[in-house]
Structure 1
């Protein structure tokens, strides 16, 4: 079973795109709002080295931003 986390904020258009894309591929994911959860924000920065969203964690593989090719490579 694949584990997918999306670190995002409600106002981020690329976060929305990434989540809509995962839904269109029938991929279950945990949506983590880093604007409200400071521990999750710290975890995201530790994993990715980035403060920007979205950050996707697909089975421990980190994707920064909405990179459709990278997402497809990991979910297929």
Structure 2
């Protein structure tokens, strides 16, 4: 299933970021994480992609998901 690149923009205190990361780990999927509270360049990149300052912003392939939207994540990954 790991054919799409997954990127998660997070902060250490975000509960939905933790849920998203745990969900991907549960599925056995690798992801790249950027802590936007410490990485200004990543924060700017996240904002350009999503128009959002809130986290998590999840990128799966070329799809951008705002927040931990499990049903949208499942749809993009092809999980029923």
Q: Which TM-score band (shorter chain)?
A: over 0.9
For the pair shown, which has the larger CA radius of gyration, 1 or 2?
Answer: 2
Tell me the C-alpha RMSD between the 2 structures: 0.7
Q: 5+ unaligned residues in a row in structure 1: which ranges?
A: none
Pairwise CA distance, 1:27: 1.1
Please give the per-residue CA displacement for 1:21-53, whole angstroms capped at 9, x wherever unaligned: 111111110011000000000000000000000
2:31 is aligned, of 29, 32, 40, to 29
1:1-76 mapped onto 2 (5 Å cutoff): 1-76=3-78
Give the TM-score normalised by the residue count of structure 2: 0.92
Give the TM-score normalised by the residue count of structure 1: 0.96
Q: 5+ unaligned residues in a row in structure 2: which ranges?
A: none
